[in-house]
Amino acid sequence: MQSKLTDIELIEQTLAGNQSAYADLVRRHQRFIFTLALRFTKSREDAEEVAQDCFVKAYRSLSGYQAQSKFSTWLYSIVYTTAMTHLRKKRLDTDSIDDEATFIQIENKPSGYDADNVENKSRSYYLNKAIEQLLPDDATIITLFYKGEQSLDEIAQALGIEANTVKVKLFRARQRLKEKLERSLKHEAKELI
Amino acid sequence: MSSIEEKLWNYIDGNCNADEQQAISLLIERDEIYRRKYKELLALNAEFSAMELDEPPMAFTYNVMEQIRAEVALKPLKTTIDTRIFKGIAAFFIMSIVALIIFALSQVDWSAGQAVNFKLPEYKMPDTAGLFSGPAFEIFLFFDVVLGLYLSDAWLRRKKAVKAV
């Protein structure tokens, strides 16, 4: 029954002292928040830490949430700042992720799949691999747009930038993703031949 | 930046106005390059939309709620108590004291001008000299010293343990 409640109703229940309502909110948004955190951190352990931190921070400041924007948009802005702080702490050089050398290195990794398994690799697998190779900002915008059901304005609000900038960034991110996906698929086709 | 692709993405996302939409629709209909590119981007868009989300660990929700529970439990008592309660109690006592002072002052006969001649009643103090001497007092003092040492040792140990955490 709880799962049919809206985010706002669950927030009201949480603020009234019902912690299980917040657990429902976490369950509802955890997959997306975790994926978003993973887009930034590129490691499951770090993503788990960031996503957990994000939900705890959201709980702490839940009373300050004003329903002017969607709860998810508010939550994404927290993931963004939490992930940024985490990356800063870890002194991760994000530029190197998009480095051509890194890309080639990733591409040339010996494949753990044999000929039979190759058939099982779906395009979605390659898509996820290509997203992993994108810059965190590009990967986040793509994920927010396609999986977060967020409009350009909402993405702009979550990332603290202009809607027009989001539009341009989304266009560029799609271009890069398309290139990486094509390169990845071409490489796989060569391997098969 | 390819302007064809940009236009087509805007068209696919529904980010263009009615006139632009109509113009692009016509271009797709009549221009082979536009049509081919449109189909390609549409396929790509469908593929991006079908991307899968990653699954967090099984105990994710549990861990988050545990962290929240621990944080709530650690919250010092003074932050959970409404300060208005303290202020209310303080106000009650202050008002009572002020009322009492006003009442007392109103009862004073200010016209009485003659010198007041108070004389305290005679009171004989009990003889306590015998209490602070003798073996019973020494045993009491010894017990107090031992108890004091024991309690200060326990306090220091607890302080050290808290520091270690």
Is there a single domain that holds both residue A12 and residue A59?
yes
Please name the member of B5, B64, B71 whose beta carbon is closest to the beta carbon of A26: B64
Judge whether B12 lies within some domain.
yes
Cα–Cα dist A170/A168, whole Å: 5
Is there a single domain that holds both residue A118 and residue A84?
no
Q: Are the Cβ atoms of B53 and A146 closer than 8 angstroms?
A: no
B71's CB contacts (< 8 A; 6+ apart) are A56, A60
C-alpha distances (whole Å) from A7 to each of A21, A71, A88, A146, B111 are 9, 7, 31, 20, 75
Flag the least confident range among A6-10, A68-72, B36-40. Answer: A68-72
Question: What pLDDT sits at residue A114?
Answer: 44
Token code pair at residue A30: 């955890």
Cα–Cα dist A138/A124, whole Å: 18
Mean pLDDT of A161-184: 89
Cα–Cα dist A32/A139, whole Å: 13
Is there a single domain that holds both residue A83 and residue A127?
no
Q: What is the CATH number of the domain that holds A188?
A: 1.10.10.10
- Domain of residue A30, residue span: 1-92
What tens digit of pLDDT does each residue of B21-49 get? 899 999 999 999 999 999 999 998 988 88
- CB contact, 8 Å: B58 with chain A? no
Is the pLDDT assigned to residue A89 strictly greater than 90? Answer: no
Q: Are the Cβ atoms of B51 and A124 closer than 8 angstroms?
A: yes
Is there a single domain that holds both residue A6 and residue A31?
yes
- Cβ–Cβ under 8 Å, residues B64 and A56: yes
Residues of A within 8 A of B55 (CB-CB) are 31, 34
Is there a single domain that holds both residue A27 and residue A81?
yes
- Domain of residue B17, residue span: 3-49
As for the ipTM of the complex, it is 0.71
- CB contact, 8 Å: A3 with chain B? no
- CB contact, 8 Å: A157 with chain B? no
Q: What percent of chain A has pLDDT over 90?
A: 25
Total structural domains within chain B: 1
* Chain Cα centroid distance, residue A73: 13
Is there a single domain that holds both residue A28 and residue A117?
no
Confidence grade of residue A117 (pLDDT, cut at 50, 70, 90): very low
Judge whether B35 lies within some domain.
yes
Question: What pLDDT sits at residue B99?
Answer: 93
What tens digit of pLDDT does each residue of B82-135 get? 778 889 999 999 999 999 999 888 888 777 666 666 677 777 777 777 777 778
SS (HEC) of chain A:
CHHHCCHHHHHHHHHCCCHHHHHHHHHHHHHHHHHHHHHHHCCHHHHHHHHHHHHHHHHHCHHHCCCCCCHHHHHHHHHHHHHHHHHHHHCCCHHHHCCHHHHHHHHCCCCCCCHHHHHHCCHHHHHHHHHHCCCHHHHHHHHHHHHCCCCHHHHHHHHCCCHHHHHHHHHHHHHHHHHHHHHHHHHHHHHHC
| Chain A interface mutation, best of B10, B52, B54, B69, highest count of A Cβ atoms under 10 Å | B54
pTM more than 0.80:
no
- Cβ–Cβ under 8 Å, residues A141 and A170: yes
Is there a single domain that holds both residue A76 and residue A106?
no
Highest-scoring range by mean pLDDT, A2-11, A20-29, B65-74: A20-29
Flag the least confident range among A10-14, B77-81, B90-94. Answer: B77-81
First to last CA, chain B: 57
Is there a single domain that holds both residue A84 and residue A140?
no
Total structural domains within chain A: 2
Cα–Cα dist A183/A100, whole Å: 12
| Chain B interface mutation, best of A147, A155, A181, highest count of B Cβ atoms under 10 Å | A147
Q: Please state the φ and ψ torsions of residue A67, each to the nearest 5 degrees.
A: -70, 35
Which strand (E) or helix (H) includes residue B127? none
Distance from CA of B52 to the nearest CA of A (A): 7
Is the pLDDT assigned to residue B156 strictly greater than 90? Answer: yes
Q: Are the Cβ atoms of B51 and A131 closer than 8 angstroms?
A: yes
How many beta-carbon pairs under 8 angstroms link A with B?
82
Question: What pLDDT sits at residue B63?
Answer: 93
A7's CB contacts (< 8 A; 6+ apart) are A25, A28, A70, A71, A72
Flag the least confident range among A40-54, A95-109, B89-103, B123-137. Answer: A95-109
Is there a single domain that holds both residue A168 and residue A192?
yes
- Cβ–Cβ under 8 Å, residues A125 and A24: no
Q: Are the Cβ atoms of B54 and A38 closer than 8 angstroms?
A: yes
Is there a single domain that holds both residue A47 and residue A113?
no
